[in-house]
Amino acid sequence: MAIIIITRPVRKFSYERDMKIYMDKQEIGTISDGETMKINVQTGQHILKVKYDWRGSNEFPFSINDNQTRSFIISSSNLENYLLAIFGGLLLLHYFLNLKYKINFAFYLAVPAFLVLLINTIFRRNRYIMISEAGPQE
């Protein structure tokens, strides 16, 4: 029997929710932040997918032979965290410029940042979680 090992490293912003692990479109378990799962699987071709609320990963196809162990790492995208920090920084800039100098132009800088965040959340929802292989093990 073959084995897959799935690891989810500790992350700052997604630690409170479990991620659902799917293999061949069937749920095989959930994984928490900082947890490692070891799953016995049949040999052959499989597709791995992870979901977190309404976000998910792309499908990750892999093949595995008898008595082989494959390791995978699950991580969430940092892009949203960076966009959120930029958006928050622009809002603070807007607040201080408006308070001290009565300048409102900084608001127009925050609108594109908000739209990028919104578009990323809507259209990249299946690229929020990344699956990568840690390296084959025998």
Per CATH, the number for 2-77+129-137 is: 2.60.40.10
Pinpoint the residues of the chain covered by CATH 2.60.40.10.
2-77+129-137
- pTM, rounded to two decimals: 0.74
Burial class (CB in 10 A: 0-12, 13-18, 19+), 80: middle
- pLDDT tens across 106-129, in order? 667 767 777 877 887 788 888 888
Residue 39's alpha-carbon distances to 33, 75, 118, 126, in angstroms, are 17, 19, 36, 24
Share of the chain above pLDDT 70, in %: 89
* Averaged pLDDT, 21-27: 96
